[in-house]
Amino acid sequence: MSTSLEQLKSRIKDRTAHVGVVGLGYVGLPLVIEFAQAGFTVTGIDVDKRKVDHINNAYSYIQDIPTEVLAPLVKAGKVRATTDFAVVDELDTINICVPTPLRKTKDPDMSYIVAASKDIAKHLHKGVLVILESTTYPGTTDELLLPMLEKAKLKCGTDFFLCFSPERVDPGNAKFQTKNIPKVVGGITPACTEAGALFYAQALDTVVPVGSTRVAEMVKLLENTFRMINIAMVNEIALMCDRMGINVWEVIDAAATKPFGFMPFYPGPGLGGHCIPIDPFYLSWKTKQAGIEARFIELAGYINGSMPHFVVDKIQNALNEHTKPLKGSKVHVAGVAYKRDIDDVRESPALDIIPLLQQRGAIVSYSDPFIPSLKHEGLNLDSQDLLAHAAEADCVVIVTDHKQFDYAALIDKANLIVDTRNALKSVDSPKVFRL
């Protein structure tokens, strides 16, 4: 065992290791909190000065991290933030939690990882543990990060330690959060895996070591590809049921009574969020490089991507049933966040549905208690009172089924409702049209 590894393990075990987290968003800030609460001193690094200032002023901008949880940790000196990567000189561990979006061409945008890794490499020193958490394609850690970090003339597995551990954050999930979601980790070498597993075990409930960074990278892609393909399948079933006049929600509920061999997935207006609509295409891109066509992924992406168009067709047909054209009609969208009870619009189907409605001549407004304004690629709207606009609208479309919405009052006020989430499951009314 190298001296560097022994010293690192000792600092981790006695909680004197100085922990660093690069990227202070939905993944990074919860990780900061968990390690600070476990007794470590944690420094967050982010290029966004507003986030850094908020943290240093003991204010949380992340819905899952209440300010009252962050504030005492800042006051106690356990948490601080900076934009300066020179702090890496002082760190014993560094978790990279930066965005990994897709380009328009559906190939990975590695620019955030590359930029962070270059800045870390300038200050890399013996005995430091670096863990990439950003979702990416298999091979990123050993093909991209490792050569960049070894330019510092240090040897991985002996002088410094490099791992990949997929983030599994589910914003808004009250039951499963960073601490109690099992943490998969794989290293470049066995010594790297040992250091990474020991590190996470100090703050998180369950650690799952795997044999390599590539296995760990593939784990996240399998998880989200599984969900994406099954959602696509049930979306296709919904299209079939709609054409045949069958209630797809009743079909799923009945099928879910089978105690084995079936797991219920539910249709919706399209995929949203920072993982499921994006991660499978990392795998698709990588397999193409290996000469393999990811047919399931591509087909599932096509089906899920067509759902906003189906929703708009559904709205148009519902209006037709009420002898109204879509063009010139007032359509009010209930919920624009990508899922229930969160303040995140990343990849939300509403971002497709609203422009599609506008293109067909509809006058569109929206309500969302978590999203006060919506500014995205030409959209510039402010949230309105749901019940007041429901009474004025020709059609209300439920895109996100927030619990705060008063559905009983909505049914009473609205002239027509298109429900894409089965929020009005128990309602039997000619004014309600379901997905």
pLDDT of 1 reads: 59
pLDDT of 201 reads: 98
pLDDT of 113 reads: 95
CATH architecture for segment(s) 3-211:
3-Layer(aba) Sandwich (3.40)
The superfamily in CATH containing domain 257-434 is: NAD(P)-binding Rossmann-like Domain (3.40.50.720)
pTM exceeds cut of 0.85: yes
Reported as a pLDDT band with limits 50, 70 and 90, residue 275 is confident
| pLDDT (tens digit per residue) in 116-131 | 999 999 999 999 999 9
Catalytic hit among 156, 163, 192, 275:
275
pLDDT above 90 covers what percent of the chain? 83
Domains of the chain: which residue ranges? 3-211, 257-434
pLDDT of 294 reads: 83
**pLDDT value at 408 more than 70:** yes
Return d(Cα 307, Cα 310) in angstroms, integer. Answer: 5
3-211 matches 257-434 in fold: yes
pLDDT above 70 covers what percent of the chain? 100
| pLDDT (tens digit per residue) in 228-246 | 999 999 999 999 999 999 9
pLDDT of 114 reads: 95
**pLDDT value at 40 more than 70:** yes
**pLDDT value at 41 more than 90:** yes
Q: Is there a catalytic annotation at residue 156?
A: no
Backbone angles phi, psi at 426, to 5 degrees: -90, 5
Q: What is the mean pLDDT of residues 331-337?
A: 97
pLDDT of 362 reads: 97
Return d(Cα 32, Cα 95) in angstroms, integer. Answer: 10
